Amino acid sequence: MRSLSKSKIIGFRQCPKRLWLEIHHPELAEYDDAAKKAFAIGHQVGALAQTIFDPAGTGTLLDAQTQGYEVVFKKTQELINASEPKRIFEAGFNACGALAFADIMEPTDQTGKSWHMIEVKSAASVKDYYLDDTAIQSYVAIKSGVPLDGVSVAHIDSKWVYPGEGQYQGLLKRVDVSEAAFSRHPEVERWIEEAQAVAKLPTEPNIEPGKQCTSPNPCGFISYCQRGMETVECPVTWLPHIRQNKIEVLEALGVYDLRDVPDKYLTDTQKLVRDCTIEQKRFFEIDATQKFLAKYPFPALFLDFETSNLAIPVWAGCRPFEQVPFQYSLHILDDQGNLAHKEFIDLSGNNPVRPFAEQLVSDCGTTGPIFVYNAGFESSVIKRLADRFDDLSDSLLAINNRLVDLQPLAKAHHYHPDQKGSWSIKALLPTLDRSLNYADLEGVQHGQMAMEAYSEAINPSTSAERKAAIQQQLLDYCELDTLAMVRIWEVFIGVRSPDLGNT
């Protein structure tokens, strides 16, 4: 009988087919950039946790990849039974057909007769599925003979503020989950038995793709499992804000195409999407968009931010996952139709917020509406800057008061079938101006890519040549965001016709 890792048992819990494929055909897995980034962040937080929980460096770090599993299992038992117990990082346990590696094992007395397990997570809260994780870890440890008195999850405290100078004490918040973890041990025993049975199957389980493919996390075998499946031309998932339970109701009725969904299951907006899709016609209430925009005088400003949201802050005064602005694009249209462009970017690796705020105040001036797309984002960034810099607060809040959101206007008065149920600026732009296309951009084509490009650019190991290339990619991407808003504004106010034929 093979010993199944905790991650494989968790994979089984998500989908038995996933477990089978991970064992027999791991080469079929495909992980997107978001998944790879999550893995990388997890490793970074795990490494930092070792210094947070063991600042004196007296603990022992084990490494199954270099030392070998059997060596780690044996060394773990020796350290657990030591006369002067110390913290153990990546302790390994093997029992009952399962193996597990604990992030941190912490002695709770000086005799080694009592231990506490800590699992480190890079999220900002304790997720429900972490309890299954800790249940498996603690079960295997106890079955290995460890006198375990409890288990905790250490997650990132998003309210913590980094003081600087490499002082990360306080970044992680411990939450005791002993009761929830231990109470699942009878279930864990059953999970292992069932997972072992699946692992022994000669062929993969016959399980159709479904919600388990993305919950609680995207599965790397989605593409493989969906191969050869008949695709739905207009899936019900295109319906905006449709809930999973309604999708399941429709599937039970044999309805997979949004064009076949009866009225009683749809909101007014969803009916609009369905009807426009059926008729292949544009919905556009230009009188309403013109009336709304006509009340705003020139100059018309169009603004977009790019931010970084590092799990581990690197600048004093910043919180984990805080949206730290490092770039903006600003187009300015005057009453003569002249379009000017201003921009800011800081890839120095220093905290960009002060120079960002100063130039933003200078470039935005004091007059004219500032059009954005999804104002909640820019507004929250500006308010945080205002809270941080007293001398700029009034000017920043004045900018915030000038923001005008184009997204609700688009949602209320425009829809084209090519939007596929989305009013994102990337979905809307091609239905109004085909000459602009995010796919034509080199390198950076969406916000997540911009964050990743920024992280690469400020890494000290990045070459000057690569950094220059990233800077240009970021500038081109952000400029397109605000130019897209200009084109949307021009169509909505009536000075430009939609560039998609007669639809």
Q: Per-residue pLDDT for 163 more than 80? A: yes
Return the structure tokens found at 232: 């739905």
CA distances from 309 to 381, 413, 469 (A): 12, 33, 22
Mean predicted confidence (pLDDT) in 203-232: 90
Nearest-angstrom CA–CA distance, 232 and 253: 15
- Select from 64, 56, 65 the least CA-distant residue to 87: 56
Quick one: pLDDT band at residue 450, thresholds 50, 70, 90?
A: very high
Q: Which of 12-16, 230-234, 237-241, 469-473 has the lowest mean pLDDT?
A: 230-234
Express each pLDDT in 166-178 by its tens digit. 999 999 999 999 9
Q: Per-residue pLDDT for 399 more than 90? A: yes
Q: What is the pLDDT of residue 112?
A: 67
Return the structure tokens found at 127: 């997720």
Q: What is the pLDDT of residue 35?
A: 79
Q: Per-residue pLDDT for 31 more than 50? A: yes
Q: What is the pLDDT of residue 501?
A: 45
How high does pLDDT run on average in the chain? 95
Which residue has 């462009």 as its token pair?
341
Q: What is the pLDDT of residue 194?
A: 97
CA distances from 330 to 114, 139, 198, 238, 308 (A): 60, 56, 56, 32, 19
Q: What is the pLDDT of residue 503?
A: 43
Q: Per-residue pLDDT for 502 more than 60? A: no
Half-sphere exposure of 438 (CA within 13 A, CB side): 20
Express each pLDDT in 119-153 by its tens digit. 999 999 999 999 999 999 999 999 999 999 999 99
Q: What is the pLDDT of residue 110?
A: 78
Instruction: Please state, for a pLDDT cut of 90, what percent of the chain lies above it.
Output: 92
